[in-house]
Structure 1
Amino acid sequence: MGDTIPWLYRYSQTEQDPIWHSEGNVHIHTDMVLEQLYVLFEKEASYLDETQRQALVLGALLHDIAKTKTTKRKEIQGIERVVAPKHEDNGRSYLAYRLIDLELPISQVHRVMGLVGEHHMPKLLVVKNGDRGAYWRLSRKADTELLYWLEVADMRGRICPDQKTQLSYLDEFRLFCEEYGVWGKTYEFALKEALLPLLENCSSKEKKYTYAHAIHAFERDEIFVIEEAIAKAYANRVAHPELVIVCGPSGSGKSSWISENVQKYQLISLD
């Protein structure tokens, strides 16, 4: 795997903060996380299927991949600490094409990218008292159930003074996910099932517009019941601005698709 993801070779040379990670460098920590993950597979998480387990193993192996690039020393409250700012986002970006080279199904690629890119969020949502919308947004980016198990292994696979507190945050995260209906799933399917029958006489574009605005409004806690979504989008759902972005390699048929599907639209740019 190192030939496809060469940053793996840097783990043993990548230091971590001695307070947050007394166990040592990224290589040591990752090994401990994987050990704890396999313990979970034997016990609390034994119900997970092979696809979920594969995603978690890859997530555990790669969750700190970008620490090899972003780690630096920084003074915090007069003390020099080791930090790796935005290593989650950087890791997700770094892995996007490399995971495809591993010949994984695209759904599994998305699942692993979600774990790597969002693995800091479970504790953060609890600490910052995230609202329902924040949990709903997260559920569209990553599998919350797998995030929970990854972070349990992540916390158990380190040595730090507040480990018990951090694990308690994860338990709270799970409870909130269950309360908001996004434990291991997104809310989108249920939202669409409830919304579309109420728009039976609307056109396809009107349905898409209302559905998109419903997601936007629910995730920002601007509305709380499905009828509000319809009312909020009513004024503009028939006639509203629309931007079409076509993406694809040269010669793949973008211009042909435009002429067949949106020929009356004004062309803004060829690039």
Structure 2
Amino acid sequence: MSWMFSADKSWSFLAERYSWVTDMAGVLQDPLHHAEGDVAVHTQSVLAALVSMAEYEQLTPQEQEILWMAALLHDVEKRSTTRVDHDGRIVSPGHARKGEFTARQILFKDSPAPFAVREQIAALVRYHGLPLWVMEKPDPQKALFSASLRVDTHLLSLLAKADVLGRQCSDVDELLGRIELFNLYCHEQQCWRQARQFSSDEARYRYFATDGAPVNYQPYDDYQSQVTLLCGLPGMGKDRYIQQACGGAAIISLDDIRRQHRINPDDSAANGWVVQQAKQQAREKLRRGDDFVWNATNITHQMRQQLINLFVSYKARVRVVYIEVPYAKWRQQNREREYMVPDKVMDRMLAKLELPSPEEAHQVIYQITD
């Protein structure tokens, strides 16, 4: 059976039930690009345009629900990012990126969706403006390939089209033309309705990690060790995964270092020292060419990137394993832990969670328990 967010899709029902829908009312938009009105008016217009499109009717019921939900959420974080610029224009910088986080939280915590469905919606929210602006990116090809690893470019194109049709502005035809060019570019670059394929995991990693790397280059694999970098919120089951899947591997654990030295996890002043101790242990193993598991939350892209760069500099091949269980089970597992994390800390970390994307490492595995 397909997942459905709500059988009742009337705006009155949605606004009455969900505060983040209610919040859209009164959020102003630049009249030059959105003469139709505020975010609530615009979102309703986008939804109406979407369901009336012939291409929408040709989608499967599950694809329709995914796209409809992405359209409902695509501007959800204009509520928190909208401001008046220095020249008097209304702008909402970063609303798509922040909207991805909000979409993920809603569909994990409040209205649970299957992992693949949730992440497709979150990615659509994140990249909904890409079809209009891809050619203005510093590296259009890399921007497109990166998106294709996470999102169905056909659905992305339809969302962008509905977004344009759901606004009143003078350049609608130009914007629709940009979307047509985006579609052609996707076909040309072999990522229409599919992730861009690379000759190997190493080739994909090197392409995204190296400025100006040719897409078809096949690098020489001279790695000397394998590092498994775990990623997941506290209580998701990283230790259990190690026991079940990493049989006998050496472990570098930030929590173990804290316990050995009686350091409270909330002691931010000491966290840097803990990380440095863990990195020193890693360097010793990397110099010897030893395989090991790095066991920590690693919930932000920045933290993972620092570690991956370190490991690769010592010629290690890196596998990222993201671990997740449903929200209710996550909370239960945390309560049953010997070292329980306070609920407020859990909520704060959930709000910052950035899932690893396939471009981050040589291999990215999603270990999901539904």
Confirm or deny that 1:169 pairs with 2:178. Answer: yes
1:14 aligns with 2:27: yes
Question: Per-residue deviation at 1:5?
Answer: 4.3
> What SS is found at the alignment partner of 1:245?
strand
TM-score after normalising by structure 2: 0.59
Q: Secondary structure at the match of 1:235?
A: coil
Q: Is the 8 A contact 1:88 1:118 kept in 2?
A: yes
| The one of 90, 95, 98 aligned to 2:98 | 90
Q: Does the 8 Å CA contact 2:202/2:221 hold for their aligned counterparts?
A: no
Structure 1 or 2: more helix by fraction: 1
Q: In structure 2, what is the Cα distance between the partners aligned to 1:52 and 1:241?
A: 37
Structure 1 segment 229-244 matched on structure 2, within 5 A? 229=218, 232-236=219-223, 239-240=224-225, 242-244=227-229
Cα distance in 1 between the residues matched to 2:17 and 2:202:
40
Query: What amino acid does structure 1 have at the position aligned with 2:106?
Result: R
1:103 maps to which of 86, 89, 112: 112
Change in 2 beyond 3 A, CA 1:256/1:55: closer
Q: Deviations over 1:89-141 (max 9, x none)?
A: 11110121211332322221111111111111111112337443322111012
Aligned equivalent of 2:5: none
CA contact (8 A) 1:127 1:169 kept: no
SS at match of 2:23: helix
Runs of 4+ in 1 over 6 A off after TM superposition: none
How far 1:45 sits from its partner (Å)?
Answer: 3.8
Bigger share in strand = 2
AA at the equivalent of 2:37: G
Aligned to 1:257: 242
Distance 1:7 1:258, change over 3 A: same
Aligned residues between the structures: 240
Structure 1: tracts of 5 or more residues without a match? 196-210
| 1:68-108 per-position Cα deviation (integer Å, ceiling 9, x unaligned) | 11111112xxx301111100111110121211332322221
| Counterparts of residues 178-257 of structure 1 (less than 5 Å) | 178-188=187-197, 191=198, 195=199, 211-219=200-208, 222-225=213-216, 228-229=217-218, 232-236=219-223, 239-240=224-225, 242-245=227-230, 247=232, 249-250=234-235, 252=237, 254=239, 257=242
Higher mean C-alpha displacement, 130-139 vs 148-157: 130-139
Q: Does 1:80 align with 2:88?
A: yes
* AA aligned opposite 2:214: I
Percentage identity across aligned positions? 24
What SS class does the counterpart of residue 267 from structure 1 fall into? Answer: strand
The amino acid of 1:10's aligned partner reads D
Distance 1:51 1:259 in 2: 34
Name the CA shift for 1:31/1:266 in 2 (closer, same or farther; >3 Å). closer
Q: Distance in 2 between matches of 1:80 and 1:131?
A: 30
TM-score by length of 1: 0.79
Corresponding residue of 1:151: 160
| Equivalent residue, structure 2, for 1:204 | none
State the Cα deviation string for residues 226-253 of structure 1 (Å, max 9, x = none): xx42xx13222xx136253253644946
**For the residues of structure 2 that align with 1:164 and 1:241, how far apart are their CA atoms?**
51
Please tell me the root mean square deviation across aligned C-alpha atoms, in Å.
Answer: 2.5
Q: Secondary structure of 1:12's match?
A: coil
Q: Does 1:118 align with 2:127?
A: yes
After superposition, give the CA deviation of every residue in 1:190-234 in whole Å (9 maximum; x if it has no partner). x4xxx5xxxxxxxxxxxxxxx432112344662343xx42xx132
Q: Is the 8 A contact 2:150 2:195 kept in 1?
A: no
